[in-house]
Each structure stands twice: as C-alpha cells, then as structure tokens.
Structure 1
Amino acid sequence: MRRVSVVMALFVLALFALAGCSQETKQESVQQKTEQASPDKKVKVGVTQIVEHPALDSIRKGIIDQLADEGFKDGQTMQLEYLNAQNDMNNVMTIAQQLAADKKDIIIPITTPSAQAVAQQAKGIPVVFSAVTDPVAAKIVRALDKPGKYITGTSDVSPMDKQVQLVKEFVPSLTKLGVIYNTGEVNAEVQVGMIEKAAQALGVKVEKAGVSNSNEVKQRAESIVGKVDAILIPVDNTVVSSFEALLTVAKASKIPVFASDSDTVKRGAVATYGIDYYKLGRQTGVMAARVLKGEKPDTMPVETLKDVQLVMNEAAVKDFGLSVPDKLKAEASVSK
C-alpha cells in the first residue's frame, strides 16, 4: 500500500509540473504575440555629405522631406544620423566606417567621394546615393541599369554641351573658356572632358585650372585672369563651396562666371541650365523609401533628373556688363 501511495504522489507531482510548464508556455506565447504586436522599431538611417553648400543642403532637405512623406519621420519612425565631412577626405572615410559599423538600415551618401567611401565600407547594407555625376566611372556601380546588389541612387549629371553653348550666347566673342575644378574628383574630371568636347565643337579653347582643396580656389582663379573670356564651374563640390572667393576675383577682373547648378547662380553666377537639387533629393528619397519598404537596390536602375531649367541672375548679368540674348528671355527663370 505504501508503495502505491508513493507512486500516486509522484504521479500527482508530475501532473502539477506539466501544468506549470503548460502555463509557462502559454505565458511565453502571449509575450511573443505582444512583442509582435508592438510598434516597429525606428529604422536607422545614415546620411552623409562631403561638405555643406546650398546645392547639397537642398538635396539633403529633399531626401528628409520625402522620407517623412513616405512615413519615415525623424524621431518617430526613423532615427536619422547626419554626418558632414567638412571637405576632408580622411573624414569621408571615417564617417563611412562609422555608419557601416552602426549597422544602419540604409545609408544615403550625397556626392561622389562620400558614395565611393560608403560603397567600400557598407558591405551588405543597402545604399542609395545622390548627386553622383558618373557612378560607373567612379566605380560605385557596375552599370546604370544594373547597379549592384546593395547599391543604387541618383545622378546629377549636367548637360555640359548646353552649358558651353549658354556661355557662348552671353559672350559671343568667346574663344577661351576657363574651367576650375578639383583634379582629385572623378565626377569633375568627367565633366571637364564633356566641356572640352563641347567647346571644341564651337571652336573654343579650354583653359583648365585644377585645385586639390577649397583653399586653392581663389589662387587658381587669379592664375587665369587675362587668359580667359569667361569661367564655367562644373558640378564640383570643392569649387562650389568656395564660390565667393572665386567670384571676388572674377568681379574684380570683369570675367563673367557661369555655373552648372541653380544654387550657385543665386549666389552670383550669371546663368546655368541647371537641375533643381531639392527635386533631386526628393527623387532620392523616393528610392530610399522603396528600399526601406523591402525593394532590393539591384532591381532599381540609377536615376537622373531629366528636366533642366535656364536660370539667370539679373544682378550678375549687370555686374559683368552683359545683356540677355533675346532668344533666352522668355525661357529663363530669373533670380535677382
């Protein structure tokens, strides 16, 4: 009898143990369902650009505004980290390493140098770049239609043939065109090649003035005084960030300056056939949102902003003693 009683007691204890396990399993299941039902964690977005100037800042604003419209609002559904390299290539690489180490859900580099660094460091992290003039030449993507497994973005390539023709319209006597650019940036080198080809077709010689940093811009502008009839600035972050220094030299020497972006025209260049950099940022933001929502970058070809607009600065036209050609008056958007 005692043996039966012991067996019964062990059986009862086993039942209680099973009941406890069952209860714990139910509690774990409830906990898992609760966790699954909780709001999603904020997506981690890293944005970096090589330097601050109006065109690049407009891109960044467009990206952030578009992401917010797509449901990714900073501080609510998105944790945004913005880092600026202050035009220092050492900083560019350090920032890329930092963003990659932080395991961002997506990294959005603005400009070619930032995109090159991020592409090297962010292995396995989706990347959507912006304002990369020629991403193939810069070896950021393999091809525009099939960019790469984790990377795509937008290009800010400018129609240099139209830019050179525009300078010729304002300066009919143009025979020598000065171009100041960063010799260390692939995108600048590509644009200079396009300018030379377009200038040659018009019988215009190009006087190149290369710089390696923004501190050299004023000096190199002074070096071409008396040698050129006008200056054209490509989409070059080093030169654009020091535009005021260049403009001081140009005004003193009465050498009209033309740009490749509308923001630099607002700052004192005569005119450009430029893209709207805020719109380019918006377009980049759309692509970034698609990636955050599950699309793969390798299915998204590199995009460009097709529309260019003639923008003129009336004050600059007067400062340089120019007049607006009749054929351009109706076409231009005027910045005073």
Structure 2
Amino acid sequence: MQIKKLMAGLSLAGLLLLGGCSNNKKADNDSDVKHVGVLQVVQHPSLDKAYVGFKKGLKKGGYVEGKNLKIDYQNAQNSQDNLKGMSEKLVNEKSDLILGIATPAAQSVANSTQDIPVVVTAVTDLKAAKLVDSNAKPGRNITGTTDMVSIDKQIKLLLSIVPKAKTIGVMYNAGESNSKIQGDLAIKALKKAGVKVVVKTANTTNDVQQVTETLAGKVQGIYVPTDNTFASAASIIGKVVKEKKIPLVAGSTDQVKTGGLASIGIDYESLGEQTGKMAAKILDGKAKPADMPVEKAEKLQLVVNKKMAKALGIDPNSIKAPK
C-alpha cells in the first residue's frame, strides 16, 4: 500500500514537473514573438504600398505575422491629435520596434521615445526633419529610408513634355516639411530653366480642388512633389487637369496612376521592403539604428499614364526619361 502511495506521489510530481516545463516552453515561445508598432500618417496608395513592402522585408528577414511577429498597425488619418495619441500607445505597449510611415508620423514617434528602436520610410529628408544627426550616421534610435529623388530630373521631364511653356505651377502643402523641401527645389530648377513659377499651397484635401482649378488657368504645366495631402486627393486633381488639358508631373508614381501624366519616381513597395529588411536586422540584434546609414531607393522608374496622355492629345511614346 505504501509502495502504491509512493508511486502515485512520484507520478503526480512528474506530471507537475512536466506541466511546469510545458508552461516554461510556452513562456519561451511568447518571448520569441517580436512586437512591432506601425504608425502611418494617412491612407493613400504610396504609403499603403510602403507598409505592404515593409512586411515583405520583415518576412525576408525571418519575421512572419502569426508566427514570431505581432504588428500593431495605427493610421492617424492625417490628424495631429491621432498621431500623438497613437505614438504614445505604441510606446506604452513597449514595442520592440516602431515604424513611422511619412514625415509627420516619423516625427511624432520620435517625440514619444528616445529608447525604442525606430525605422521610418517615405520621409524625404531625415536630417532636415530632425530625426537623425546625419544620414551617414544617424546617431540616435532612428534610421530608415528616404523617398527623395532627383527633383531636377522630374522638372526636366515636365519641361520636355511642354517645351514651349512659359509658366509652370507648383502645388504642395506648406505645412509638410518634406513637401516644402521638394517644392523649393522644384522652384529653383524651374527658375534656372528660365521659366516663370506660380506656387499654390493647400493645408487640407478640402482645399485641393479649388487650388488646382485656380492654378490650371494660369499655367501650361504643373508639378506636385510627394505630398500626402495632394496624394490623398489625386483623383480630384486628375479630373481638373484632364478637363483643363494641363500636363501634370508628380513626385509619386502612384499619383500618376490616379491623376497625373508622368513621373520618374519611387516604387514605394520596394522602398518599404528595404525598410523592413533594415528592421529585421535591428530585431535580430545585428545592428542599431544609430549606426545604420539612411538608405535611398534602390529602384527608380518612369511611369506614364497613357490614358491621360491621350486625353491631353500627347503621344505617350514621346515621353522619355531625361538623361
């Protein structure tokens, strides 16, 4: 009888031990899951594709949602209040890493944490946005990819489409630092080419249609940089320029597809993928943001909206990338 009791006790102890091992194993598995926060400033094709690409880059780096990766995605819908609250939420949840998509989102995350590793994408100039000490050596908890492309080439493209133009319009949101930087570069390039420039700005998507209609009546061509406000209203812009027969070159290739004529620009999905690969190295512990140089887009492409070209009476095959 005593032997049976002893055996039963040993069996119970064994079960408890195994149960403890099982619980420890589960805890170990939970600790292997990386928590990544994502803050996107607003929804539009370019930024949406950057997020899709980011997840692809993470996957190529060995991080897969539902296995060893959990993503908390937040979209601020262009609200400053949302940006602040969502940034704080991602920080308070003790994310292992946070992604900021577009300059306002990146700046909001940067203001919320100096400790959690942060990567950003779709930001024109990280140094000018005060996110890094320098592009070569960020020096802080932030690094990422820039969507800056050659504004000179984009202006040359526009002027090759309307070689007789005397006046060119430039539209952007002056409240977005990335847009202001690009706008100033475009104005400089146009003046250097001997062309008169008319500048119109809009702070919200509600103002875009009126601004575009006003500008279209004064110019022979329009340039729009990679601007979140104008990108969000790309289809509205497209209707206006189509009706007014005004060629529009955009900084974003996605805006061309929904309302512009042409662009030499970035594939935002590829840019996001680059960023995801950078994030994977940080999550692996193989690199720190402070030491990771800011990366430029690996791929640029000429995109022409053939339907828009035909509507404007332009042969789409005549539009070539300037050298």
Per the normalisation by structure 2, the TM-score is 0.89
Cα distance between partner residues in 1 of 2:100 and 2:251: 21
Q: Deviations over 1:199-221 (max 9, x none)?
A: 11211122111111111111111
Which letter does structure 1 place at the counterpart of 2:174? T
Aligned to 2:3: none
Q: Secondary structure at the match of 1:104?
A: coil
Kindly report which structure 2 residues correspond to 1:39-58, keeping only aligned pairs within 5 A, or say none.
Answer: 39=29, 40-58=31-49
Aligned to 1:316: 308
Cα distance between partner residues in 1 of 2:152 and 2:27: 56
Q: Deviations over 1:291-330 (max 9, x none)?
A: 00012111101111143211111111111122346472xx
Cα distance between partner residues in 2 of 1:219 and 1:314: 26
Cα RMSD after superposing both structures: 2.1
Is the 1:48–1:114 Cα contact (8 Å) retained in structure 2?
yes
Q: How high is the sequence identity, in percent, across the aligned residues?
A: 40
Q: CA deviation at 1:62?
A: 0.5
Query: Structure 2: which 5+ runs fail to align?
Result: 1-12
Aligned to 2:56: 65
Q: Secondary structure at the match of 1:147?
A: coil
Aligned to 2:248: 257
Number of residue pairs matched by the alignment: 303
Aligned to 1:297: 289
Query: Structure 1: which 5+ runs fail to align?
Result: 1-22
Q: Secondary structure at the match of 1:250?
A: helix
Aligned to 2:112: 121
Given the superposition, is the C-alpha separation of residues 306 and 76 from structure 1 closer, same or farther in structure 2, using an over 3 Å criterion? closer
Quick check: 314-323 or 179-188, which moved more?
314-323
Is the 2:242–2:308 Cα contact (8 Å) retained in structure 1?
no
Cα distance between partner residues in 2 of 1:49 and 1:131: 10
Cα distance between partner residues in 1 of 2:259 and 2:205: 18
Which letter does structure 2 place at the counterpart of 1:211? A
Aligned to 1:138: 129
Q: CA deviation at 1:225?
A: 2.8
Q: 2:228 aligns with which of 234, 237, 244?
A: 237
Q: Secondary structure at the match of 2:264?
A: strand
Cα distance between partner residues in 1 of 2:39 and 2:69: 16
The structure that has the greater radius of gyration is 1
Cα distance between partner residues in 1 of 2:199 and 2:41: 23
Is the 1:65–1:282 Cα contact (8 Å) retained in structure 2?
yes
Is the 1:176–1:204 Cα contact (8 Å) retained in structure 2?
yes
Per the normalisation by structure 1, the TM-score is 0.85
Which letter does structure 2 place at the counterpart of 1:300? M
